[in-house]
Amino acid sequence: MTTMTEASVREFKMPDVGEGLTEAEILKWYVQPGDTVTDGQVVCEVETAKAAVELPIPYDGVVSALHFPEGTTVDVGTSIIAVDVTGGTAPAPAEAPAPAETPAPAAERARSAVAAQPEEPKAEGSGRQPVLVGYGVAASSTKRRPRKAAEARVQEAAAAAVQSELNGHGPAGHSVSGGGTDKPRPLAKPPVRKLAKDLGVDLATVVPSGPDGVITREDVHAAAAPTQTPEPVPQPVTEAPAPAPAPAPVVSYDTARETRVPVKGVRKATAAAMVGSAFTAPHVTEFVTVDVTRTLKLVEELKRDKDMQGLRVNPLLLIAKALLVAIKRNPDINASWDEAAQEIVVKHYVNLGIAAATPRGLIVPNIKDAQAKTLPQLAESLGELVSTAREGRTSPAAMQGGTVTITNVGVFGVDTGTPILNPGESAILAVGAIRLQPWVHKGKVKPRQVTTLALSFDHRLVDGELGSKVLADVAAILEQPKRLITWA
């Protein structure tokens, strides 16, 4: 089989395509082993916690191997594809002759000698082992004297015997009975005496069976048998083998009635971000219902304007412009909370986020420096943002650095909601469905186009007055769009 030198095969590792991302899922391979690739050619599409991204290969060659199949989540820094940069035609290198043996350095010989030595047995009762030369436990050059514990036990036994003699209970002692007659004391070891005491057996009535007339435990049990159940003879304690771990229970469900979808990629990141936001920033949501009939008329006029030809013109465009004007009138709403520094950071630019529902989950790309764009420029940016999101081509950079967000729940026929802030942002505006409703207009009830707006904001840096002013300004502009000119 043809072999390739390490230098001829280049390993392409999973890059960090965002800021601080740790993993990505391989969605699709565009090449297979044996395919020729060139520098800059896209070889696969991966999904990170932020978006789907296409990865180009940084060199020319022939694909040697794909290390992971589609659908696999791979850590950043792990090699995912190998490419033979010689084109796969390099001949197998001849096997290099073994170099002549040369004397090893002294330190190397010392390490080899240590490695070659057989492992010394551990000292009994000791959990320590010799490690490397010069470290760890030093081997003793002398043998220990026999433990003194045995001598101490002999001395304690002798002292106990003397004390027992003094108490009239020595092995050769005599107990003085009331009648003045001496009766030899039965011979038994202390544990046997305790057993007899516990069972209520008089050792004087027990027939000894041990050597030299010593009473054993069995003798005591035999004497107690008529009235007592013999005490079981304790067996030496042996360590029972650890039970094998029980296998993890297999989760079963009816596949015909349930479908399980792994939480990963964009959905996993969104879930974590929303939980973090909900339990970090104190949310407040305010609502206003407004007549947007004039705004819809202006949308129709703009669609016919030659300066807006080819651009996406819809109510969201004017709602975005209204929010930008409201922020200009109330700049403190465009801020973030710095927990570490305990400061409020007021932004002098607006990166306007637009929530977009995609097959991979909800993403929020943003329009950079939206406050500086004209209406045609804003319409162009909105169109590109929406189309890119629907195609799954939104880059991680497009979803970073947002300051405020608009979420259009009205496209789903929803009247309004209480949106959760994107982490690091101060406010989010939810736009409900625009419906023809009875409305009091110029003193009369007439059918008008009406919608409900909801503004959620971080109450740590936006108080009720500021939040109310921003929401009221947006509503006022949508009710009277000419304020886009007078307030801008």
Quickly state the pLDDT bin for 483 (edges 50, 70, 90).
very high
Quickly state the pLDDT bin for 181 (edges 50, 70, 90).
very low
Averaged pLDDT of the chain = 78
The first and second tokens of residue 111, run together, are 């390490």
pLDDT tens-digit series, residues 8-35 = 889 999 888 765 678 888 889 999 999 9
Whole-number Å distance between alpha carbons of 352 and 338 = 20
Which of 169, 174, 441, 459 is flagged as catalytic?
Answer: 459
Whole-number Å distance between alpha carbons of 198 and 228 = 11
Predicted pLDDT of residue 167: 44
The answer on pLDDT for 332 being more than 80 is yes
Whole-number Å distance between alpha carbons of 207 and 115 = 64
The first and second tokens of residue 125, run together, are 């009762």
Predicted pLDDT of residue 59: 87
Strand partners, 62: 36, 84
Quickly state the pLDDT bin for 143 (edges 50, 70, 90).
very low
Point out the least confidently predicted range of 84-93, 163-172, 216-225, 334-343: 163-172
CA 154 to chain centroid, in Å, comes to: 62
Quickly state the pLDDT bin for 319 (edges 50, 70, 90).
very high
Cβ-based neighbour number of residue 232 at 10 Å:
7
Whether 459 is catalytic is: yes
pLDDT tens-digit series, residues 111-141 = 444 444 444 444 444 444 444 333 344 444 4
Point out the least confidently predicted range of 44-48, 142-146, 158-162, 218-222: 142-146
pLDDT tens-digit series, residues 67-96 = 999 988 888 889 999 999 886 544 344 444
**Structural domains for the chain:** 6-84 (2.40.50.100), 188-226 (4.10.320.10), 267-486 (3.30.559.10)
Q: Which of 50-59, 229-238, 267-276, 297-306 is modeled with the greatest confidence?
A: 297-306
Whole-number Å distance between alpha carbons of 202 and 193 = 9
